[in-house]
């Protein structure tokens, strides 16, 4: 499958989610999240111009809704007494959901589950998995796998088809196809993602803007006007926050900038296309944000630093994933009821882009308790489990019936708002195969150099060469 057909697959999958959930609305029916109830408030620097200190978003209301019962508990009890380790999310609401659901699974089945947080950043998680598999480690039984990784790790993962093949029929089939390698179902879809624009409705209204910006020029103009008007009352306010640290998140952000400027998808038909004038224009624009409408510290931000700034009321615009929606509307949130979402902006004549994301669940081939591990995957990825996560954490389900669920649609209405206005763009994992991580690192390190002040036209040829060498290896 070439990159063009790959893009169509992901676009179809994600837009199918949007369309199906929208149908549910009409029928009336992370390593992301909050800080968790146990964490103490901290401070996030670099709001505004990068010199102010901004209090972190307060811990959200504790999860009140009990985790659903294990539907297959009677069968899973055959493995009672087994001990398994789940390499789950590391921060926030996702981590809390992992713990709550693992506890319920343990109580219902007698299978002991130890939840271990994986590295916060996907790049580090990828490297950790490489080390585990190279050592054929049995330390981890169930692991979370980025949607772009099944091909890279397939030989180290259990074929879930024999036990979970029937359950897989309930998921979006393009996602199942994405998780099937050489006829083996090596991962179960857990949730899907795409980048979206969050904006402060109260501030836009106050300054006479009737709608969210559709172009990057409009976003910059709105941010500048609002910052000028608010500087006397909120010096910490900044215009636009996004994931600017040199890690996989920057690849996701920069791909959206490049695509929405007409610069393509980095790789096309296995040819590196990143070195083009539109891509240079996109990165040059982003560099202009740093220290302007974006804080200088944004080049150190990941998802949670970004969310903290926005959720404490100190940003007009934010680029993030859907998980931030529920947290922004938490009872303790400073912006509850004061924000909305829209497709990310684009250049005139181009399309809005949201990088395709999401995570799967997989079982290590080196697990000493694979049957017990598979039962945990069955529970976590079940319709009941996905419905629970959607309602509590605004996590977009991959089970089609749950996308049409009335309560789910009520909790994540933003999908209706971006329907038809957003092109979901995949990262080039199919074209780069097992070398994806190296290719992504070459790209985001180059982007980081531009954000630090180098000319994009001088950096992109080097990025092109590194990515080309990666594909030739």
Spatial CA neighbour of 460 closest among 278, 299, 276: 276
Strand order in the sheet with 315-320: 238-241, 315-320, 196-200, 339-342
Burial of 135 (0-12, 13-18, 19+ CB in 10 A): exposed
Can you give the pLDDT at residue 57? 65
Can you give the pLDDT at residue 177? 86
- Distance, in Å, from the CA atom of 149 to the CA atom of 144, rounded to the nearest integer, reads 10
Can you give the pLDDT at residue 152? 87
Tell me which of 34 and 317 has the higher pLDDT. Answer: 317
* pLDDT class of 94 with cuts at 50, 70, 90: confident
Can you give the pLDDT at residue 312? 96
Average pLDDT over residues 264-287: 95
Phi-psi region for residue 21, left (φ > 0), alpha (ψ -120 to 50) or beta?
alpha
Tell me which of 22 and 449 has the higher pLDDT. Answer: 449
Max Cα distance, the chain (Å): 65
Backbone angles phi, psi at 192, to 5 degrees: -120, 160
How large is the C-alpha radius of gyration of the chain? Answer: 21
3-state secondary structure of 348: coil
359 HSE (CA, 13 A, CB side): 23
* pLDDT class of 437 with cuts at 50, 70, 90: confident
Can you give the pLDDT at residue 28? 29
Report the range of poorest mean pLDDT among 2-11, 303-312, 341-350: 2-11
Can you give the pLDDT at residue 419? 64
185: tokens are 């179902």
Can you give the pLDDT at residue 309? 97
pLDDT digits (tens, 9 = 90+) for 156-193: 999 999 999 999 999 988 789 889 998 999 999 999 88
* pLDDT class of 435 with cuts at 50, 70, 90: confident
What pTM value is reported for the model?
0.79
Check pLDDT > 60 for residue 457: yes
228 HSE (CA, 13 A, CB side): 7
pLDDT digits (tens, 9 = 90+) for 112-156: 999 999 998 888 899 999 999 999 999 999 999 998 889 889 999
Check pLDDT > 90 for residue 54: no
Can you give the pLDDT at residue 4? 38
Average pLDDT over residues 79-96: 91
pLDDT digits (tens, 9 = 90+) for 9-49: 334 444 444 333 333 332 223 344 433 333 333 333 333 33
For tokens 């949007």, the residue is 18
pLDDT digits (tens, 9 = 90+) for 349-381: 999 999 988 899 999 999 999 999 999 999 999
Average pLDDT over residues 86-90: 91
234: tokens are 């909120």
Tell me which of 270 and 160 has the higher pLDDT. Answer: 160
Asked if residues 321 and 30 have their Cβ atoms less than 8 Å apart, the reply is yes
Asked if residues 20 and 411 have their Cβ atoms less than 8 Å apart, the reply is no
């Amino acid at each position: 499958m070439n990159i063009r057909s790959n893009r169509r697959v992901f676009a179809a999958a994600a837009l199918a989610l949007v369309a199906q959930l929208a149908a549910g609305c009409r029928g009336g029916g992370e390593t992301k999240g909050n800080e968790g109830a146990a964490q103490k408030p901290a401070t996030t620097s670099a709001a505004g111009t990068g010199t102010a200190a901004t209090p972190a978003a307060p811990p959200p209301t504790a999860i009140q809704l009990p985790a659903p019962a294990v539907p297959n508990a009677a069968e899973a009890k055959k493995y009672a007494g087994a001990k398994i380790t789940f390499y789950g999310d590391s921060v926030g609401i996702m981590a809390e959901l992992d713990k709550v659901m693992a506890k319920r699974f343990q109580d219902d089945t007698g299978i002991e589950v130890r939840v271990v947080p994986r590295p916060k950043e996907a790049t580090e998680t990828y490297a950790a998995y490489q080390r585990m598999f190279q050592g054929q480690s049995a330390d981890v039984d169930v692991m979370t796998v980025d949607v772009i990784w099944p091909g890279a790790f397939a030989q180290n993962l259990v074929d879930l088809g024999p036990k979970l093949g029937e359950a897989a029929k309930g998921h979006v089939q393009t996602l199942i196809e994405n998780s099937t390698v050489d006829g083996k179902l090596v991962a179960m879809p857990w949730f899907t993602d795409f980048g979206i624009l969050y904006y402060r409705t109260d501030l836009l209204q106050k300054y006479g803007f009737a709608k969210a910006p559709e172009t990057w020029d409009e976003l910059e103009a709105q941010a500048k006007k609002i910052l000028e008007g608010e500087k006397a009352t909120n010096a910490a306010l900044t215009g636009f926050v996004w994931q600017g640290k040199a890690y996989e998140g920057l690849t996701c952000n920069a791909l959206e900038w490049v695509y929405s400027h007409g610069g393509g998808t980095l790789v096309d038909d296995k040819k590196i296309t990143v070195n083009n004038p539109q891509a240079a224009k996109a990165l040059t624009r982003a560099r202009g944000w740093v220290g302007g409408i974006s804080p200088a510290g944004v080049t150190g931000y990941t998802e949670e630093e970004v969310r903290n700034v926005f959720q404490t009321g100190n940003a007009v615009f934010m680029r993030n994933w859907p998980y931030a929606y529920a947290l922004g509307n938490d009872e303790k949130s400073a912006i509850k009821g004061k924000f909305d979402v829209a497709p990310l902006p684009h250049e005139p004549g181009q399309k809005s882009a949201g990088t395709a994301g999401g995570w799967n669940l997989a079982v290590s081939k080196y697990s000493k308790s694979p049957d017990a591990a598979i039962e945990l995957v069955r529970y976590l990825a079940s319709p009941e489990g996905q419905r629970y996560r959607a309602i509590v954490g605004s996590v977009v389900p991959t089970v089609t019936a749950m996308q049409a669920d009335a309560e789910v649609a009520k909790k994540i209405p933003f999908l209706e708002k971006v329907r038809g206005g957003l092109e979901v763009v995949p990262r080039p994992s199919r074209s780069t195969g097992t070398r994806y991580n190296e290719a992504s690192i070459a790209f985001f390190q180059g982007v980081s150099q531009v954000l630090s002040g180098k000319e994009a036209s001088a950096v992109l040829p080097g990025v092109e060469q590194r990515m080309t060498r990666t594909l030739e290896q």
